A and B are shown apart, each in its own frame.
Chain A
Amino acid sequence: MSWNVVFPDIVAGLFLGAFLALIAVGYSMVYGILRLINFAHGDFYMAAAFVSYAVLGAVTVGTKVNWGNVIWVGLVTMIAGGVLAVCVERLVYRPMSRAAILSLMIAALGVSQILENGVLNIPSWGSNYLPYPVTPPSNGFSVASVHYTWTQLGIVVIAVVLIVAVYWIVNHTMLGTAMRAVAQDRAATTLMGINTDRIISLVFFIGGALAGAAAVMASLYYGQINYLMGFSIGLQAFTAAVLGGIGSVAGAAIGGLMLGILESVGTGLFGAQWALMFAFGALVLTLWVRPTGLLGERVGQRV
C-alpha cells in the first residue's frame, strides 16, 4: 500500500465528500431546527437532478458544454430544489407540527416514496439510467500521474464556497441568529417577535437549494442520473451529518468529507463490497469516543 495507490482514492473521496457535505448540511439544519430526520432530503437531490436534466436538455444542442447555460440552469435547479423542500414542509410537515417525531419521519418516508415513484412514472424518465445532456470537457491537469479536469476542480471549489456561505449565514447574520434561536427554543423565539414558521421555511429552502446544487454537480461529475440516486446518498449524508455532529453546519461539512474519503479509501483497500462496513465502522468508533459526533455540542435532552 503505497501513497500513489491511496492518493487517487482520497481525491475521489473528496468529490463524493463534497456532494455528501452539501446534502448533509441541509439534513443537519433541518434536524437542528425540527429534530426531524428528513428521509425525503435525498430525494430532493434526486428530483432536482431531474429538473436540471429536463431544463438543460431543452436548452442544449449537442453535448458540448455551454457554461453560461450550465450556470443559469444550476441556479434554476437550486431554486427548484428549495421550492420543492418548502412545498413539502408546508404541505406535510407543518400540518403535523404537533405530532410525534416518529410520525413525521414516517411521513418523510412517504414523501420519499412519492418523489421516487413520481419520477419513475414520468414516461420519458422511467427507471433507466439517463445520460446527462452535457459532457464536460476532459482537459485539465495531472497530479501524481492521475488526470483531473478543470470541471472537477470547479465542482469542489463551488461546493466549498456554498458551504462557507451557509456557515456565514447561520453564524454571522441576523437571519442565522434567528435560525439558531428557533432551534434552541421555538416558543421563546416566537415571543421575541420572530416569525418562526418563516424561519423554518427558509431553512428548508436553503437545504433544498444546497441539494439542488449538489445534484447538478454530481450529475456533471458522474454523467448519469437515475430515480434511485437520492436514497443511498441521502442515507450516507445523514450518516455524515451524525458523524460530524448533527445540527452544526461545519460538522456536517467535515463529516461529509470524512465519510466520502473513508468510503473511497475503504473501497480501494478492501474492495467495493466492504465500503459501507468501513464507513459505518468508522461512525460507530467515532460515536463511541465522542457520543455527539466530531463537532457536536452537548445538547441537553429537552424536558
Chain B
Amino acid sequence: MANGSSSPPGTSDIGSDVSARGIRAAAEPSRPAARRAGASGGPRPDSRLATMARNRSALIVLAALAAAAILPETGQGNYVMSIAVQIEILMCLVLGLNFVVGYAGMLDLGFAAFFAIGAYMTGLLSVDLHWPILATIPPAIGAALLGAVFVGLPTLRLRSDYLAVVTLGFGEIIQEVVTNLNQTGGPEGISGIPPLRIGGLVVTTNDGYYNVFLVLVLVFVAVSFRVRHSRLGRAWLAIREDEDTAQAMGIKVRRFKLYAYMAGSVFGSITGSLYGSAFIAIAPPSFGFNESLLVVMAVSIGGIGSIWGGLLGAGIVVAFPEVFRQFAQARLLVFGVVLVLIMVLRPQGVWPESGLGLDRAARFVARFPGRRGEAIAARRRAAGVERTP
C-alpha cells in the first residue's frame, strides 16, 4: 500500500505507520487532522483510496446513527429496547475506558468501580436526601475523581502490567465495600431511585432512557474525538506508543496517565448515575469484575483506541449472547469461540483505529475473477492505484 508512508504526516491517520504515529503526534503542532485532509487533499492520486475508505466509514457511521435515532419509532418490544439501552450503557463505559486503555495504553481491570461510584452516589443522594438526579451528577463525578486519584497516585510508579492487578483490586474493593456497608443497602443494594427530570420532562419509559443514553453516547463520542486531537490526546497516544520516548519529548508521563484515569472515571461515573435512574434499583453484582471485563472485551473486540470500533464492540458483546439465546447454556461457549476467533484472525479488532481496511478488502476481492472483482480492478486501474496486470 503506497499511501501510508508517502502521505504527509498528520493529514491522515489511515494507513499511517503505527510505530511512528505516537512520536509524530507528540512532536507536531495542534491541527484538526483527519476531517480537513479529506477536503483539501486535492488530486493526490494515492490518497484517493484512503479518502474513499474514509467516506465509506463515515457513511456506515451515519447509517448506523440514523438507524439508532429511529429505533424507538419502529415499535420494537420492551425486550429489544432494554437490550438497546444496555448496549448504549456499555458504549458509554467503553468510551470512558477508551481514554485509559485506548489512548494512554494502560490496562484497567477495575473500570466498573467508577461505574459503581456514580450509581451509588446518585442512589444515595436521590433516595436518602431526595436530590434530583441531575444534581447528583456533580458530586458523583467528584467522588469518582477522588477514587481515580486514589488509585492513580500509587499505581503511577508501577510498570503497566502491575497496574492491571491494582485496578482489579480497586474494583473488587469497591464492590466489597458497597456489599458490606449498611449505608449502601448491603447485598440488596438501593431501590426506588427516582426518574430523571430534565426541566419539566420526566423520563420514565425504556424509550425515553434509550434517547437519553443515545444523546450521552453522542456527547461522549464528540468529546472523545476532540480530546483525541488535542494536546492532551496526542500526549496520551505518545505515551501509549512509547513511554520512554514520550518522556524524552518532555511529556510528563505520570501526570498524563493520571489525567487518563480521571477522564475515564468522569465518563464512568456519569454513566453510572444515569444507569441508577434508568434501572430504578442498583445492586453490587452489577459492578463486579465481570462488568469490568465486559468493558475491556468491548474495547478490544472493536479495536483498541478506535471510537467506532469500541461502539461496535459494545454492540457485539451485549447483543451476541442475546441473539444466541436459543442455544441456552451453550451460548457463552459459542461466545468464547467467537471471541478467540476474532482475536486470532483480527488481533487489532474488528474496526481498528487505522480504519476498517475496506481498501484492503477491495483489493482482496479484486483478486478473484467475476464481475464484482473485475469492476473493482477496473476502477482501481482507472484511479491509477494499481498497474495493469
Q: Which residues of A contact B (CB under 8 A)?
A: 31, 35, 37, 92, 95-96, 98-100, 102-107, 109-114, 116-118, 120-121, 235, 238-239, 242, 246, 273-274, 276-277, 280-281, 283-284, 287-288, 291-293, 299, 301, 303
Contact = CB atoms under 8 A, between A and B. Distances in A.
Interface in B140-189: 154-155, 157-159, 161-162, 164-166, 168-170, 172-173, 176-177, 179-180
Contact of A283 (B107, B165, B338, B344): B165
A117 B335 CA distance: 10
Contacts of A276: 172-173, 176
Contacts of B244: 301, 303
Contacts of B180: 273-274
Contacts of A242: 162, 165
Q: What are the 3 A-B residue pairs with the smallest beta carbon separation, nearest first? A: A113-B336, A99-B347, A110-B339
Contact of A100 (B165, B170, B304, B335): B304
B296 interface: yes
Nearest to B303: A103
Contacts of B340: 92, 107, 110-111, 114
A95 B340 CA distance: 11
Give the one of A98, A103, A121 with max B CB within 10 A: A103
A229 to B, nearest CB: 16
Interface stretch (B81-89, B325-333, B368-376): B325-333
Contact of B159 (A111, A274, A292): A292
A37 B330 contact: no
Interface residues of B, number: 46
Contact of B179 (A273, A288, A293): A273
B381 to A, nearest CB: 32
A28 to B, nearest CB: 12
B297 interface: yes
9 contacts: A37-B164, A100-B348, A104-B343, A107-B343, A114-B333, A120-B332, A242-B165, A284-B154, A293-B162
A299 to B, nearest CB: 7
B162 A287 contact: yes
- Interface SS, A side: helix
B249 interface: no
Contacts of B168: 235, 239
Contacts of A98: 347
B289 interface: yes
Nearest to B155: A287
B348 A110 contact: no
A117 B155 CA distance: 34
Give the one of A117, A239, A273, A281 with max B CB within 10 A: A117
Contact of A99 (B297, B335, B338, B348): B348
A274 B176 contact: yes
Given A109-B297, A276-B172, A246 B336 contact: no
B306 interface: no
A273 B243 CA distance: 39
Given A273-B179, A276-B173, A303-B244, A117 B332 contact: yes
Contacts of B329: 117, 120-121
A100 B300 CA distance: 10
B111 to A, nearest CB: 14
Nearest to A285: B154
Contacts of B335: 113
Interface in B276-321: 289, 293, 296-297, 300-301, 304
Contacts of B349: 103
Give the one of B243, B330, B333, B348 with max A CB within 10 A: B333
B68 interface: no
Given A35-B161, A37-B164, A117-B332, A106 B289 contact: no
A110 B337 CA distance: 7
Nearest to A238: B165
A118 B333 contact: yes
Given A100-B347, A287-B162, A299-B159, A106 B300 contact: yes
A121 B297 CA distance: 23
Nearest to B110: A280
A288 B154 contact: yes
Interface in B234-251: 242-244
Give the one of A102, A238, A288, A293 with max B CB within 10 A: A102
A273 B176 contact: yes
B101 interface: yes
A235 B339 contact: no
Given A106-B300, A288-B154, A280 B169 contact: yes
Contact of B343 (A106, A117, A281): A106
